[in-house]
Amino acid sequence: MAPVDLVRDPVAVRDRFSAAMNKTLRRLDSIHSKLVDTITPIADPMFSRSPAEREWSIAEVVHHLCLVEEAVIRELEKELANPPRRVGFLKKLMPTSIVASRLLRVKSPRSVVPLNPPPRTEVIANYDEVRSRLKQLCSSHGEDRLKQLVFKHPVLGEIDGIATVSFVGYHELRHYKQIREVIKKLG
C-alpha cells in the first residue's frame, strides 16, 4: 500500500485513522499553522534576539522544536524496527497534555538545546519539513502499529507512539506560548 500524503490529502487522513488520532493530527496542524503565522512576519533582528540573559530567542525556540521532533522521529523509527510491544495499562493514563503547561519548568536534555540556530528562513523551512516527516511516518505505519511501540520520554516515562505524536503537539503548544511571551518582552 502506498503511503498517504497527509499534508495534501486530508480525506485520506480521515479514512486511515480513528477519530482520536484524527483529532491529534488536526491539533498538530492547527498549532503548527498558528506558530508559523506568528513567527513568519517577524523581522530577522527580533527573530534572533534573546529577550533576557539565559532566555531563548524565537529562533532558538523554533530550532528546539525541530531538534525535539527530529529526535522523536529517530526514536519512533528505531522502535518501528523492533517487534511490536505495548505500554503498560497504567502508563497509558499519563496525559500528554500536561506538557503544554508553562507552570512546570523542565530542563531540556542537552541533545535538544538549540545552540546556533540556522537563519530565520532556514529554521522555518526545517520546522515545516520535520513536521511533514512526522506526519508521513504516521501515514506509512498507521495507528495500530504506532500503538504497538514504546517511546521513552524523559518526563512522561514510557508512552506509546500515539501518545508520542500527541506529546509533540502539546510540546509545540507550550513553546508557542513561550514565543508569544518573547514577542511581548521584545515588543
- Domains defined for the chain, CATH in brackets: 10-186 (1.20.120.450)
The answer, yes or no, to whether residue 3 has pLDDT greater than 70, is: no
pLDDT band, very low/low/confident/very high, at 15 (cuts 50, 70, 90): low
Residues in contact with 63: Cβ distance below 8 Å, sequence separation at least 6, in sequence order: 114, 117, 118, 123, 126
184 grid coordinates: 511581548
What does the pLDDT look like over 125-149, one tens digit per residue?
A: 999 999 999 999 998 998 899 999 9
pLDDT for res 90: 64
Give the C-alpha separation, 125 to 93, whole Å: 35
Provide, rounded to the nearest whole percent, the portion of the chain with pLDDT above 90: 66
Give the C-alpha separation, 107 to 87, whole Å: 25
Give the C-alpha separation, 116 to 32, whole Å: 22
Q: Sign of the C-alpha dihedral, residues 6, 163, 92, 150?
A: positive
The answer, yes or no, to whether residue 14 has pLDDT greater than 50, is: no
pLDDT for res 58: 97
First-residue to last-residue Cα distance in the chain: 50
pLDDT for res 52: 93
Residues in contact with 182: Cβ distance below 8 Å, sequence separation at least 6, in sequence order: 51, 55, 56, 57, 58, 61
pLDDT for res 160: 93
Strand ranges (E), the chain: 150-153, 157-160
pTM over 0.85: yes
Cβ neighbour number for residue 10 with a 10 Å cutoff: 14
